[in-house]
Amino acid sequence: MSLPDLIGAALGFLLTIAIFSYLVGDNQFFRIAVHLFVGATAGYVGAVLVYNVLLPQLFIPLLFGSWGERLLRGVPFILGGLLLFKLSPRYARLGTASMAVMVGIGAGVAIGGAVLGTIFSQIGASANSFNLGNGLILLVGTLATLIYFQFGIRQTAGETSLVQQVLSGVGILGQVFIAIAFCALFEGVYASALTAFIDRVSSLLTFLQMLLPF
Selection from 36-40, 83-87, 153-157, 196-200 with the highest mean pLDDT: 36-40
pLDDT surpassing 80 at residue 111: yes
d(CA 137, CA 127): 12
pLDDT band at 170 (very low <50, low <70, confident <90, very high): confident
pLDDT surpassing 70 at residue 13: yes
Supply the pLDDT for residue 209.
Answer: 80
* pTM summary value: 0.59
Instruction: List the chain domain ranges.
Output: 132-209
Mean pLDDT of the chain: 83
Helix (H), strand (E), coil (C) string for 26-69: CCHHHHHHHHHHHHHHHHHHHHHHHHHHHHHHHHHHHHHCCHHH
Supply the pLDDT for residue 197.
Answer: 87
pLDDT surpassing 70 at residue 159: no
User: Could you tell me the CA-to-CA distances from 93 to 45, 80, 99, 103, 116 in Å, in that order?
Assistant: 29, 14, 10, 15, 35
Lowest mean pLDDT among 32-41, 146-155, 201-210: 146-155
pLDDT surpassing 80 at residue 151: no
Helix (H), strand (E), coil (C) string for 87-133: HCCCCHHHHHHHHHHHHHHHHHHHHHHHHHHHHHHHHHHHHHCCCCC
